[in-house]
Amino acid sequence: MTIYPAGDRALSADFGNQIDEKTNDQVMTLAAALADGKLPGIRELIPSYRALLVEYDPAVYTYEVLADRIRKINTEINAADSGAGADNQRHPRRIHLIPCCYGGEYGEDLTGLAELTGLSEQEIIRIHSGRDYKIYMLGFLPGFPYLGGMDSRIAAPRLDSPRVSIPAGSVGIGGSQTGIYPVASPGGWRLIGRTPVPLYDPDRNPPVLCRAGEYIRFVPIQPEEYGTIRSDVSNGVWQPQTVTENDA
Amino acid sequence: MEIVIDNPGAWTTVQDSGRFGCQQYGIRTSGVMDQDAYQAVNSILGNDPGASVLEMTLTGLRCHFEGNGIIALTGADMDALLDGEPVERYQAVPVRNGQELRLSLAEDGCRAYLGVAGGIDVPLVLGSRSTDVKSRLGGFQGRTLQAGDRLATGRQLLRENSSPETGREHEESRAPRHRHIPHYGHAASVHVVEGPQADWFGEEARSRFFASTYSVAPASDRMGIRLTGTPVESLHGVDIVSDGIAEGSVQIPKNGMPIIMMADHQTTGGYAKIGTVCSFDLPKLAQVKPGDQVSFRRVSVEEAQRMLLDPAERERSAPLGFHLRVSGTLTAGRRHRSRGWQVDVRLRRGWRRK
């Protein structure tokens, strides 16, 4: 880990310039250690793929003092990890079950993606919903999850010309990434389905359903179920579905 | 009192100090661009320091008041008229039912603030009244103001034992002669701490960046001040794996033209950031207009934090030429000019201490 200044009120704890689960785990573990409140004067923690941006009050710490504290905390985390034996350590995973209605009017580009990849629509759905995706970070839009680990068989380039408006809840594929649009937005990803579940609600605290470091599992549903969940959401009776599993 | 918008101006929104604690969820902070002018307007009105105000950009609004109240204007000079009479800036002004306030083009600076005793009454969303237009969040219906909008005012707390500096009733607390009314001019020199991705650029490219003067591009907005001038060359591309963005970050996209991330910047991004403008200099950037000049001064993080915590340190570091230009427009002749500069420093310090 290297620490760089990001102006007079922020610093970046940087774990390299790569996208992988191990790097992101280090970011999230450090973020959790700093979020537990032992360090006063920390204003915001913004974890991303490979770095943690820490906004702090320079009246409480100068850059060097805070950077030293963070280096020390990170060393302690590493020591605790290697003490426990990194290989057989079990991290519990919090997995959000995200119902997704694939294809048809819910995912207009599924047919095109089938042609592009040479797979059937059913195979694409099976592959897309067949694994858990880690949320590496939230950004771009409120609650937009950057997901890692999509199967390369269903990867496809973005659309040549982006859509002017994509409905909230749309599930798409852009390059080797998959993601969900939490709010209506322009965008160039290929839309394969839509979830009736709100990922973002400014009247809720926290305003987002999923947080960085957690996982998403897509659960295929039929249009009838989409409608049922949708009306549960608008009647305020819908409850988020999550499971906690240990790493294999 | 209600403010009824007759003409909103180019880009007018409700803002406060910003929406904090939600950047980890991808929610930008928004908030006023010029924290100095914002603090001044609330202090003049005796408002809570976090009270919400109207921020106007390049062209001011036209509105009328229903009910009586007290307003103040800070930031850019937009030739404000109240029922046709010029309005003193940086001073509390009583307004009566039916009076019309009319602002025009920004004569000096880019963003003006209209504060009102008790603040602009819009709902708190995630702890802030700031408008995030991109996410349609907060402020007045999550958007810029339109003709016909009616804004309630006056329900936010006033600071204890404070009252607006109306001058008449509170002769002693009236402090406009100590208050520094900024003159913005057409050039801003801002301090920059290198990083977090300064090592993506060679020492030569960095030196050139700090030696260059850039022009403000017309596409600049609350998200970013876009600059044109000498392109900044990177060593091996500018595409980083996305990370968090601090306000003031100087992003270098593929074409090498710097973009300074301002109040409405996205929370994460994938361009290398050569440096970060110091927080105390961001108000200067809030007031630059398309065509104005921006230059950067390299400063260590230690120096930057000393300057942040001690404004006197900042005055010592301010480039002489900038001050001469600032007061040079007010006075003529070499001797007057240098006297003007000294007076300016004294006033600034007095204001900061208040």
Interchain contact, B27 vs A140, CB within 8 Å: no
SS3 for B115?
A: strand
Quick: pLDDT tens for B169-202: 444 444 444 468 999 999 999 999 999 999 999 9
Interface check for A232 against chain B (CB to CB < 8 A): the answer is: no
Q: Is the pLDDT of residue B323 over 80?
A: no
Mean pLDDT computed over B220-241: 95
pLDDT of residue A186: 85
- Min Cα distance B237 → chain A (Å) is 13
CA distance B205 to A97: 49
What integer is the mean pLDDT of A147-157? 92
Residue B63 pLDDT exceeds 50? yes
* Chain A nearest-CA residue for B281: A8
The partner residues of B94 in beta bridges, in order of sequence, read B70
Q: How far apart are CA B27 and CA B130, in angstroms?
A: 12
Cβ within 8 Å, pair B267-A46 = yes
State the Cα–Cα distance between residues A196 and B270, nearest whole angstrom: 30
Residues B47-61 pLDDT 10s: 999 999 999 999 999
Q: What is the pTM of this model?
A: 0.88
Quick one: pLDDT at residue A246?
Answer: 85
Tokens 């915590």 map to which residue?
A: B309
Out of A53, A59, A64, closest to residue B243 by CB = A53
Spatial distance between the Cα atoms of B306 and B299, rounded to a whole number of angstroms: 11
Q: What is the mean pLDDT of residues B81-104?
A: 97
Reported confidence tier of residue A37, pLDDT bands at 50, 70, 90: confident
Q: How far apart are CA A180 and CA A182, in angstroms?
A: 6
Alpha carbon of residue A36 to chain centroid: 21
Chain A residues 67-126 with a CB less than 8 Å from chain B:
none
Cis peptide upstream of residue A206 (ω within 30 degrees of 0): yes
Instruction: Say what the pLDDT of residue B329 is.
Output: 36
DSSP3 helix / strand / coil % (chain A, rounded to 5): 30, 30, 40
Q: How confident is the model at residue A90 (pLDDT cuts 50, 70, 90)?
A: low
pLDDT at B327: 37
